[in-house]
Amino acid sequence: MYSVRMRARRHARHHSGAERLVPGDAVDQAAAAMVRRAMNHSRGRAETIELAIEELDSKQIEYGVLPDVQTWQVSDFHQGRRAAANLLCSLGVGPAAVETAFADMIRGAAPDGGNMRGAMLVDVHSGCRLEPDPARGVRVSRMDLSTEARRNLSRVLQQQDLDQETVREALVLAAKVRMAPGIVAELCWSDDPDYTAGYVASPERGYIRFPHLKPRGDRRGGRAFFVRGACVPLNALLDYLQLRPILFDRVGHLHPPQFWTESGS
């Protein structure tokens, strides 16, 4: 198996990225698809594209199952944020950590107020940011779906009209994050101004989507990983997220959507 990774930049900022784990005879096709994606993106053409192709020892590859998925319907992003914050608290994320994550993602989590290239790491108790480089953040890498899981996932997501690349890729990333040592939950919403949905993913509750976590037109978005900072050496967590290859060969269940109510669902 090979890891194929793409990172593109435009106007000196992150533009797009992609991750695949593919057999040797599919490397050229995967790489070409990534270049096409960077050149035909809704954010315009990439100015620089970096491709990294690396052979993996098949004994290193771990196999996993995607989380169950459910959409919690909310009326607008205000309600969506309240629902996501309540869910995070119920998962054991402390109020300071919830506050840090929302405040930083709303104002732009990088030091210059822009989006981070990767995720922030937030200590579940203190709310302190733990990532070594607050502009870059932590990029989750070396994960993909097996061919059969990709087919099954599309079939499952089609039932609720969710079979889109954005959803599939977010699910694979969230699936790897929730397997990482010390992770309690993840909060994410997109930086695409036309995509208002986001999610909270966790080992306990799976992947819970909210159709609105930000106002339409807002370019700010990103990811926060909530970590039991005192229990896990940071290097072990970073190694897992960035280097450990994981192939998801099984999909979870897609539950019927439910309406979130202020009294709690």
Beta-strand ranges (E) seen in 99-221 are 120-123, 143-145, 183-189, 198-202, 206-210
Comparing CB distances to ligand PML, the nearer of 213 and 227 is: 213
Q: How many CB atoms lie within 10 A of CB 63?
A: 11
What tokens appear for 229 in the block? 């900072």
With binding defined as CB under 6 A, does residue 209 bind ligand PML? yes
Alpha-carbon span 217 to 147, nearest angstrom: 35
Considering only the stretches 51-59, 79-87, 137-145, 186-194, report the one whose residues sit in contact with ligand PML under the rule CB under 6 A: 186-194
Comparing CB distances to ligand PML, the nearer of 1 and 138 is: 138
With binding defined as CB under 6 A, does residue 15 bind ligand PML? no
Q: Are 69 and 209 in contact (CB under 8 A)?
A: yes
Return the biggest CA–CA distance within the chain.
53
Count Cβ neighbours within 10 Å for each residue of 143-155 and write b for 16 or more, e otherwise.
Answer: bbbeeebbebbee
With binding defined as CB under 6 A, does residue 197 bind ligand PML? yes
- Residues within window 238-257 making contact with ligand PML, judged by CB under 6 A: none
Considering only the stretches 14-22, 106-114, 126-134, 164-172, report the one whose residues sit in contact with ligand PML under the rule CB under 6 A: 164-172
- Give the residue, chosen from 22, 31, 170, 241, that forms a contact with ligand PML under the rule CB under 6 A: 170
With binding defined as CB under 6 A, does residue 166 bind ligand PML? yes
Instruction: Give residues in contact with ligand PML (CB under 6 A).
Output: 166-167, 170, 188, 190, 192, 197-199, 209
